Amino acid sequence: MSRTTRIYLDNAATSFPKPVAVYTAIDTYNRKIGAPADRGTYHQAVEVHAMIQRCRKRASEILGAETTEQIVFTFNATDSLNLALHGIINPGDHVVTSVLEHNSIRRPLRELRERLHVEVTCIDADESGLVDANSIRAAIKPNTKLVALIHASNVTGTIQPIVDVGRIANESGALFLVDAAQTVGHVPINVRDLPVDLLACAGHKGLLGPLGTGLLYVRPGVEHRLKSFRQGGTGSQSEDDHQPEKLPEKYESGNHNVSALYGLEAGLAFLQERGIEWVHQHEQQLTAALLDGLEGISGLNILGPQSNDGRVGVVSIAVDGFEPQILATILDEQFGIQTRAGLHCAPGTHKCIGTLNSGGTVRFSPGAFNTREDIDATIHALQEITSSN
């Protein structure tokens, strides 16, 4: 079979394609508006301010936030997580986390351990990539300041028990930070129904916005414990050299990535019109079909949950006789199927599932615009590849 089309199955990295309205909004801003946010009173600047307010309102509605001010704009999920980690943790604090975390949590915690002598306890997970909430309970100490946990693994798709973990953290007096990069926009989330103090996500993944956008939800009252990660101009209180304490300005120094926020606002509008539940069901159907088709392929191993329960649409595989990078290259060059191979910035997860020393996995992540035909083509391609080995 020769490559004829592009089948994009790397939505866990960034969603593609975006809704047409996202491209239109970015282009309109760049060509016709071009003003910064909250830096002027002329017509275009006022228009930008109104869009920022709409974008924040849409994000707060999708997440179920108490007010629009609880939504802080960042540049990606990593930026959001750094804001939370560096803003909460002080010298001598103790943090509980898991081996499953992305480097956007692992590396800031390493920095805090080395620079501030912060103590970190890393909880193990089982072979499917699932953390036991009771292990987190056992790890909490009197000086535990924060529990940080990924919501769904970016390698196996396993959804973690964040309700149980959050209650444990809250009962101990610790704050609970959730890395929701793989769940926001993919599954319905209402932060008011969850024991979550801080929730970080990207704007360019499930929320269908462009790269360069992210969100941090801050539960009311937590801002009094969360220091500002960076300081600078906010377009408000310019006569004072103190960083504003008011949300969201406390954490939004410097110019916004306005063109990207125009795109994000359009992506959020698309999701609100379609509904997160529609996206969730669509991706669940595609994932179920993918798992079902992969199961019968000789020499192919599915890593993580074997069923469609308790997971998001992220599926990792290993195929006997193929290094992950080689298999991904064959899929792309011969079949036009685009995936991600390697460790996915989460080496601890690969240690749990036994793929750390073999180069990781090949990861498939269908999104809102994939079709059943895409899944069928992927299964057929893997059948052809493995049968010729």
8-32 mean pLDDT: 98
Angle, alpha carbons 69-71-72 (nearest 5°): 105
**Residue 205 contacts residue 11 (beta carbons within 8 Å):** yes
Residue given tokens 């309102």 in the structure block? 57
The pLDDT value recorded for residue 100 is 98
Does residue 313 have a pLDDT over 90?
A: yes
43-49: long-range pairs with CB below 8 Å, 24+:
48/258
Is the same domain home to 243 and 379? no
pLDDT tens string 326-353: 999 999 999 999 999 999 999 999 999 9
Does residue 3 have a pLDDT over 60?
A: no
Tell me what the pLDDT averaged over the chain comes to. Answer: 95
**Total domains present in the chain:** 2
Closest residue by Cα to residue 175 from 243, 223, 135, 113 = 223
Q: Which of 231, 259, 274 is the last residue of a domain?
A: 274
pLDDT tens string 84-127: 999 999 999 999 999 999 999 999 999 999 999 999 999 999 99
* Residue 63 maps to a domain: yes
Is the same domain home to 340 and 211? no
Rounded-to-integer distance, Cα 171 and Cα 109, Å: 23
The pLDDT value recorded for residue 1 is 41
The pLDDT value recorded for residue 303 is 95
> Within its chain, how far is the Cα of 315 from the centroid?
16
Q: Give the burial class of 2: count Cβ atoms within 10 A of its Cβ; 0-12 exposed, 13-18 middle, 19 or more buried.
A: exposed
Is the same domain home to 293 and 259? no
Does residue 2 have a pLDDT over 50?
A: no
* Residue 79 maps to a domain: yes
Helix runs in the chain, H state only: 20-28, 43-63, 77-88, 103-116, 133-139, 162-172, 258-274, 276-295, 324-335, 347-353, 372-387
User: The CATH number of the domain where 247 resides is what?
Assistant: 3.40.640.10
User: The CATH number of the domain where 291 resides is what?
Assistant: 3.90.1150.10
Q: Which of 147-156, 172-181, 213-222, 226-235 has the lowest mean pLDDT?
A: 226-235
* Residue 2 maps to a domain: no
Rounded-to-integer distance, Cα 266 and Cα 21, Å: 6
The pLDDT value recorded for residue 389 is 67
Does residue 239 have a pLDDT over 90?
A: no
The pLDDT value recorded for residue 212 is 98
Rounded-to-integer distance, Cα 372 and Cα 166, Å: 36
Is the same domain home to 35 and 177? yes
pLDDT tens string 298-310: 999 999 998 898 9
The pLDDT > 90 percentage for the chain reads: 89
Rounded-to-integer distance, Cα 386 and Cα 300, Å: 8
Rounded-to-integer distance, Cα 76 and Cα 201, Å: 7
The pLDDT value recorded for residue 4 is 59
Return the higher-pLDDT residue of 230 and 40.
230
Is the same domain home to 250 and 154? yes
Is the same domain home to 209 and 312? no
Is the same domain home to 339 and 245? no
The pLDDT value recorded for residue 388 is 82
Q: Which of 215, 239, 274 is the last residue of a domain?
A: 274
Is the same domain home to 107 and 190? yes
pLDDT grade, residue 237 (50/70/90)? confident
Does residue 235 have a pLDDT over 90?
A: no
* Residue 76 maps to a domain: yes
Is the same domain home to 115 and 196? yes
Is the same domain home to 260 and 295? no
Angle between helices 258-274 and 276-295 (to 10 degrees): 80
Is the same domain home to 250 and 365? no
- Determine the structural domain holding residue 364 and report its residue range: 7-18+276-387
Is the same domain home to 30 and 65? yes
160-187 mean pLDDT: 98
For residue 260, count other CB atoms closer than 10 A to its CB.
Answer: 23
Q: Which of 246, 274, 302 is the last residue of a domain?
A: 274
* Residue 1 maps to a domain: no
Q: What is the value of pTM for the model shown?
A: 0.96
20-28 mean pLDDT: 98
